[in-house]
Amino acid sequence: MSRGRVGTGRQRSLYAPSRREVQAKLHAVRHAIVEGKLIGGPHETVGQFLECWLDAVASQRVRPRTLERYQGVVNKHLAPELGHLPLPKLTPQHIERLSVAKRGDLSPAGVRYIHQVLHAALAHAARMRMIPYNPADGVAPPRPVQQEVLYLAPDEARRFLTLIEDEPLGPLYTLAMTTGMRLGELLGLRWQAISGTDLEVRVALIRVGGSWSVSAPKTPKSRRRIALSTTAQKELKRQRRLQA
């Protein structure tokens, strides 16, 4: 006899003769949660709902690294401050007080991200008729701070590329500067994606839960072909020689 548990407000245990049958029952329960057919009831707390939302909804809609960030926000900020409240009694005032309290410790971007995660979770609860409206709608997150972006001048960029010619990571820096690729895309690059005068961004290397894995690029448009400069082609040839 095997058993599985699912956090839908109250802890529930599922029993079946085999592990496979338990997994099938868990899948059915989670599907019911997503469809709004299984609700924890009026006594379900915000913390219990957020745990269930992460497991049954967010995990199916966002990338693993994003899910890890969501879990961090819930565990570090939302559950400790709001988790004890009954979900139907959560008000804009509760969320506003949370936002004000976090502004003393976090940047405006950090507070906005907390609001974004909470808003997404409560939007699902409202769609499923678990609450009459999304209380996060009534709270304005802090405005983003516009920061000046600094760039290297052309002569500074040329000098930098000259100085790193003999460095072990010289090819990586050259590709970063001449292609604009993200770090994960650079680290996930394989020789099969390079055809001499250009390369194709196919995958990215990401870190989730302390381990590295290969994933599709961040967005569909991120999968693209990039023409290589003469300098980049030269550095890639040098890298091939070093690896050989």
Q: From CA 25, how far away is CA 9, in angstroms rounded?
A: 17
The two tokens of residue 227 are: 């023409």
Q: From CA 120, how far away is CA 55, in angstroms rounded?
A: 14
CB proximity list for 169: less than 8 A, separation 6 or greater: none
Please give the DSSP secondary-structure letter assigned to residue 148: P
Q: Which of 21-30, 40-49, 117-126, 205-214 has the lowest mean pLDDT?
A: 21-30
Percent of the chain with pLDDT over 70: 84
Q: At what angle do helices 108-127 and 92-102 cross, to 10 degrees?
A: 160
- The confidence score (pLDDT) of residue 37 equals 44
Q: At what angle do helices 170-179 and 230-243 cross, to 10 degrees?
A: 150
Please give the DSSP secondary-structure letter assigned to residue 18: S
Q: Taking a C-beta distance cutoff of 8 angstroms, is the pair 116, 69 a contact?
A: no
Which residue, among 108, 86, 95, has the nearest Cα to 134 in the 3D structure?
95
Q: Which helix (H) or strand (E) holds 43?
A: none
User: Is the pLDDT confidence value at 88 over 90?
Assistant: yes
Domain range annotation of the chain: 2-138, 154-243
> Helix (H) and strand (E) counts for the chain?
11, 6
What integer is the mean pLDDT of 22-49? Answer: 65
Out of 2.60.40.1120, 2.40.50.140, 1.10.287.610, 1.10.150.130, select the CATH number for domain 2-138.
1.10.150.130
User: Is the pLDDT confidence value at 46 over 90?
Assistant: yes
Q: Taking a C-beta distance cutoff of 8 angstroms, is the pair 69, 120 a contact?
A: no
- pTM for the model stands at 0.64
3-state secondary structure of 121: helix
Cα-Cα end-to-end distance for the chain = 56
Q: What is the pLDDT of residues 94-105, one digit of tens each?
A: 999 999 999 988
